[in-house]
Amino acid sequence: MTSRFVRTRLLRTASLLVPALAVLLAVTAWPLGRAVYLSLYNYPLTNPDARKFVGFDNYRNVLGNSEWWQSVAWALSITVLVVAAQLIFGFLFANVLHHVIRLLPIARIFMLLPFAAMSFLVAFSWREALGGGYLNEWFHFDSVGNRVDVLTICLSEIWRGTGIVAVILLAGLLRIRPGLMEAAVADGAKPGQRFTRIVLPAIAPAVAIAVAYRALDSLRMFDAPYVVARPGSQLLAPQNLIFNTSLTEFEFGLGATMSVVFFLIAALVGVVLVRSLRVRRAV
How many domains would you assign to the chain?
1
Give the domain CATH number at 176.
1.10.3720.10
Residue 57 has pLDDT above 70, yes or no: yes
**Domain annotation covers residue 27:** no
Q: Of 220, 232, 179, whose CA–CA distance to 78 is shortest?
A: 220
Q: Which amino acid is it at 6?
A: V
Higher pLDDT, 151 or 140: 151
What's residue 164's pLDDT? 92
78-87 mean pLDDT? 93
Question: What digits encode the pLDDT tens for the residues 95-113?
Answer: 888 877 666 677 777 888 8
**Domain annotation covers residue 164:** yes
Residue 36 has pLDDT above 50, yes or no: yes
What's residue 203's pLDDT? 86
Q: How many C-beta atoms lie closer than 10 Å to residue 120's C-beta?
A: 14
What's residue 127's pLDDT? 80
What's residue 132's pLDDT? 59
- As a whole number of angstroms, the distance between CA 221 and CA 164 comes to 16
**Domain annotation covers residue 16:** no
**Domain annotation covers residue 61:** no
138 confidence band (pLDDT: 50, 70, 90): low
**Domain annotation covers residue 155:** yes
**Domain annotation covers residue 7:** no
80 confidence band (pLDDT: 50, 70, 90): very high
**Domain annotation covers residue 42:** no
Burial class (CB in 10 A: 0-12, 13-18, 19+), 267: exposed
Higher pLDDT, 180 or 65: 65
What's residue 186's pLDDT? 76
Question: Phi and psi (nearest 5°) for 118?
Answer: -65, 130
Q: What is the pTM of this model?
A: 0.81
Question: What digits encode the pLDDT tens for the residues 180-202?
Answer: 777 777 777 777 777 777 788 88
Question: What digits encode the pLDDT tens for the residues 193-241?
Answer: 777 777 888 888 888 889 988 998 888 888 888 888 766 667 788 998 9
Q: CA angle 178-85-144, nearest 5°?
A: 155
Range of the domain at 123: 74-232+265-276
What's residue 116's pLDDT? 82
Contact 214, 80 (CB under 8 A): no
**Domain annotation covers residue 259:** no
